[in-house]
Structure formats: structure tokens, C-alpha cells
Amino acid sequence: MSTLQERFDGALIIDSDSPLYEREIVEPNQLEHISIIGKYVSHSYDGEI
């Protein structure tokens, strides 16, 4: 599984849960080359922040 975050400047940060993959940063001028295929399924919350 991977986590996606958008930086303030519009870049996309891709972090994998797997230690086999390093963090990827897609700069705003390269986003046209990215397609995201997936679906957010669920979120659990244990009450702590």
C-alpha cells in the first residue's frame, strides 16, 4: 500500500509501506504523466490523536 500527499507547491509525494521502495516525488510539471487508479476503502479510528 502507498500513501499519497500533496505538497503546498502542488507536487505529489508517494510513500510506500514497503521498505523495498523509496519515497517518490512527482513535481507539478510532471503530474500530467500520472494516473491514479484505486479506491479508498475504509478508515479506522481508535479515538486517540
C-alpha cell at 4: 499519497
Cβ neighbors of 39 (< 8 A, separation 6 or more) are none
List, for residues 2-26, the tens digit of each pLDDT value: 888 999 999 999 999 899 999 999 9
pLDDT (mean) for 27-48: 83
pTM reported for the whole predicted model: 0.67
pLDDT value, residue 8: 95
Whether 48 shows a pLDDT value over 80: the answer reads no
pLDDT value, residue 49: 64
Please spell the DSSP secondary structure of the chain, one letter per residue: -EEEEE-TTS-EEEEESSTTS--EEE-GGGGGG-------------S--
pLDDT value, residue 11: 95
